[in-house]
Chains A and B, each alone.
Chain A
Amino acid sequence: MFKSRVFVLILAALVMSVLPASAQEEGESLVVYSGRNETLIAPILAQFTEETGVAVQVVYGDTAAVANQILEEGANSPADVYIGQDAGALGALSKAGALAPLPSDVLERVPDVFKSQQGEWVGLSARARVLVYNPTEVEALGLELPQSILDLTKPEYAGLVGWAPANASFQSNVTAMRVLLGDDVTAKWLADMVANGAVSYGSSNTNLNRAVASGEVVLGITNHYYMHNLKKQDPALNLEQTVFPAGDPGSLVNVAGAGVLATSAKPGLAQRLILYLLGSNAQTYFTEQTSEYPLVDGIAVNPALIPLDSIVQPEIDLSDLDDLQTTLAMIEASGALDQ
């Protein structure tokens, strides 16, 4: 039988134990909505708190979902800073009027190609779209690696290609294809990919890369750094990568970036966080720990990466990738999400 008084006391103690965690902490604090995975961004946010004493509370989710949430919340949004894993979602927020202009001391740290033309978001790190492949399987099947992302719809790759159509980086790549090739060609490519048996890994590039390494699929279109990060845990991983040549739409170099919400009550503090993420400490973290390309001068690039200047990018302005809505509708209509 329960001893009721003891039970009630324990219960009260348990309920109390959550309250401190939920109550606002003393001192300065920021609310960050992050479309980047916690394992990639939390360590550097923790360092920011340690160095500045500013507490950071974070909402994690998929990049489009979190951007969507900000729009749904409208003026009620508690968010101060949005961190997205691609320029498209940042552009979409900027287009919807959700972001405030950034001051010049933030903007001037980043080269023009990696920030918004309106000055409402900046890139924090760069990432290249690559083709990952399983070398053993490629050899066993006698496959030639495709020379363009458009070649992946060919019959010889049927059922062998993996992708992550719910992932923001993929979505941005599709937007780039729409800008470069037009909506009709892009929609047809998506439909052909689905018809060719492309295997969907939802929003998880990690699972896509693991699947390629295991031979579950043979090729995958993804961001460059997942392979590097997985190989840190298991150097023997059966996984290689290459970049589509000659300015192919599949060799987009995109950014993970951040902006300050127009509804934020603490724009100064929010800008301070972004400045910190553009500082040498954070930039070194991005290249060393998450295997990305730093965006500010004077940071040594992780030597394991394909040199950024050897990637011939398609002719595109990242600020033109802001029509995420049409892209998402197109991806949904293609059936890619249902695979």
Chain B
Amino acid sequence: MDVPFRSALRDIGPPSWRDGAAAMRGLLQRHHWGLALLSLPVVASVVLPVGYLILRGLGAGEEAVEYLLSARTLTIVGNSLALAVAVAVAAAALGVPFAWLTTRTTLPFRRVWLVAGLLTMVIPSYLGAIAFVEVFGPVGALRDVLAPLGVHRLPSIYGFFGTWIVLTLYTFPYVALPVRAALLRIDPAQEEAARMLGMNRWRAFFRVTLPQLRPALAAGVLLSMLYTLSDFGVVMVLRYNAFTRAIYTTYNSTFDRERAALLALMLIALTAVLVWIERRAGRQVTTYRHQGQTARKSPPVPLGRWTIPGVILCAGLVLTGVGVPVLVLSGWAFNPNLTSPIPLELELLVAQSVGVSAFTAVFVAVSGTPIALLASRSASRISRLIVGASYFGNVLPGLVVGLALVYFAANYLPFIYQTIPLLVLGYGVRFLPYSVSATRSALSMISPRLNEAARTLGCSEIEATRRITFPLARAGVFAGMALVALSAMKELPTTLLLAPIGFKNLVTRLWTGYEAATFALVGWPGLLLLASSAVTLLILLWQED
């Protein structure tokens, strides 16, 4: 659900944190091992549950192999891969034109489309799926509109088709963003040279520009695949038997917990392969530019008669991705005829959502600081291992993190099992990297000269850090915390698995209402989650400025 948009944004403003790191070096040299020790509990909370999952899976013994190779398992693998590839291809087909239109052309309201397009990235996709069923489903609004025209049955939104459409709508920004960043970096001189040598604009784009976009495109495509693999809400709502749905139904409706663990392990393996490919692709980014020059800004391409199709494409994406959930959820929220046998208790839900998210943000900021400091050192193998492990929780599907923690805590940590701290730990494992990378880039903005000046004026190393570095890094750190809090607030699968007894927040209430078709319980929680997504976007934009 919340695959790292940090890493999608990575290309926009590559933090040159080396300078800041230099300022920390003296401090780190002395406290390196201390930092590593401080980081270990966080890393352990990722590694141990997953390790336990492996033990449980292996506990099935020889049956495990048989099960992993069974027709059912292979079908699930096939379903997941087919969906991931289809979504990635469609996301690229939409994301590249979207990026180009909003970056390099005279398209009207470019900024508006861009920002609204980014909004689809932060909206929880399960809201999109629920809203889509309401509009395009078998009893949906669209059928009512078309009924006078004699349309009785719409093609089913359930299964592959609907899942593919919805996931594409909510993942195309993962392609559009890196591609946009690459477009901004590319030197227009080459395209101009190609034009002068007689190519028309299209040929120049395909022969000169597109090849340079390839690394960014590859990164975006892999991100959208990762997102698809980890998505839980959309495949549940639209009933497509991808991994996460199969794991959840196996966990929920069989007594065979080893099988859920085995399926989860396969999903981890698949994810790991994709991450490995992504990391390799990320390393190959090269842009060709005349030595010693910065890129000129390209003059915008006049769209002419292509203006209207361009606007239709952008507006279509934005209106379906953002407009449909807003309309549907408002319809439920403001419909006085909808009733529910249980009260909505919106104030309580907001308090629980916000409170636990704030708790998570504090927890993550505190436990993430030693990792961020270690990351800026990045010299030893140990520290790279620790930083790598801390990122692992973020690429793992939330369902798998939840499952691993449930199994582990029920057996070994009964004192935090079914408590808010376990839920917070689950969120922490997933969203730690947002905070770590925000802290890292905040540190990078600080010139080492300031610390050196403080040192010459008689401050100790630690005092200089406390009085100079931390105050300057504060705004960035807080922004990272806010991102963590907002991500935790809308998280679905981990919440479903780890919510303690009697706990209810916006997400759990919305899901209960959706499952019981009691839409009075879905409207307001959904709208508030949409609003929190808008805040997420504002913070991301502020961070990147």
Contacts and interface: CB of A to CB of B under 8 A. Distances in A.
Instruction: Tell me, yes or no, whether A binds B.
Output: yes
A324 B76 contact: no
Contacts of A58: 501-502
A64 B340 contact: no
B253 A18 contact: no
A101 interface: no
A42 B342 contact: yes
Among B255, B361, B414, find the residue whose CB has the most chain A CB atoms closer than 10 A: B255
Contact of A337 (B253, B341, B361, B418): B253
B502 A329 contact: no
Nearest to B350: A17
Given A14-B358, A38-B516, A166 B252 contact: yes
Given A2-B478, A7-B478, A202-B239, A21 B253 contact: no
Interface of B: 72, 75-76, 138-139, 152-153, 156, 236, 239, 241, 246, 249-257, 259, 339-342, 348, 351-352, 354-359, 361-362, 407, 410-411, 414, 417-420, 474-475, 478, 500-503, 512-513, 515-518, 521
A65 B414 CA distance: 19
B432 to A, nearest CB: 18
Nearest 8 A/B pairs, CB to CB: A18-B355, A14-B358, A57-B502, A214-B139, A216-B138, A65-B252, A166-B253, A76-B414
B180 to A, nearest CB: 28
A40 B76 CA distance: 33
Among A14, A16, A18, A289, find the residue whose CB has the most chain B CB atoms closer than 10 A: A18
A110 interface: no
A215 B253 contact: no
Contacts of B417: 73, 76
B257 A68 contact: yes
A73 B410 contact: yes
B521 to A, nearest CB: 8
Contacts of A338: 72, 75-76, 241, 246
A42 B257 CA distance: 28
Interface string A197-213: 00011111011001101
B272 to A, nearest CB: 24
B255 A11 contact: no
A18 B254 contact: no
B475 A2 contact: yes
A78 B501 contact: yes
A337 B500 contact: no
A324 B513 CA distance: 28
18 contacts: A14-B359, A18-B352, A18-B359, A21-B352, A39-B518, A43-B342, A58-B501, A58-B502, A62-B252, A64-B252, A69-B410, A72-B257, A328-B253, A332-B250, A332-B256, A335-B72, A338-B72, A338-B76
A239 to B, nearest CB: 12
B339 A233 contact: yes
A284 interface: no
Interface string A22-56: 10000000010000011110110000000000000
A223 interface: no
A15 B341 contact: no
Nearest to A14: B358
A18 B342 contact: no
A42 B354 CA distance: 24
Interface string A156-199: 00000000011000010000000000000000000000000000
Contacts of B521: 39
A59 interface: yes
A202 to B, nearest CB: 7
Contacts of A216: 138-139, 156
Contacts of A204: 515, 517
Contacts of A72: 257, 407, 410-411
A304 interface: no
Given A22-B500, A166-B252, A14 B354 contact: yes
B475 A332 contact: no
A203 B511 CA distance: 14
Given A17-B351, A39-B513, 5 more contacts: A14-B355, A39-B341, A39-B516, A165-B253, A329-B254
Among B420, B512, B517, find the residue whose CB has the most chain A CB atoms closer than 10 A: B517
A4 B342 contact: no
A252 B475 CA distance: 64
B501 A18 contact: no
Contacts of A2: 474-475, 478
Contact of B474 (A4, A65, A333): A4
Contacts of A215: 138, 152-153
Contacts of A331: 253
Given A7-B478, A21-B351, A210-B139, A61 B252 contact: yes
A57 B501 contact: yes
A21 B423 CA distance: 14
A59 B418 CA distance: 10
Among B253, B351, B521, find the residue whose CB has the most chain A CB atoms closer than 10 A: B253
Contact of B340 (A7, A22, A39): A39
B59 to A, nearest CB: 13
Interface string A322-334: 0011001101110
Interface string A303-339: 0000000000000000000001100110111010111
Contacts of B407: 72
A73 B410 CA distance: 6
A71 interface: yes
B255 A328 contact: yes
B502 A200 contact: no
Contacts of B341: 39-40, 42-43, 289
A339 B249 CA distance: 11
Given A2-B478, A62-B253, A337-B249, A200 B239 contact: yes
A153 B156 CA distance: 22
Contacts of B354: 14, 17
Contacts of A333: 72
Contacts of A78: 418, 501
Contact of A18 (B156, B255, B351, B513): B351
Contacts of A166: 249, 252-253
A1 interface: yes
A221 to B, nearest CB: 16
Contacts of A210: 139, 517
A15 B250 CA distance: 35
Nearest to B417: A76
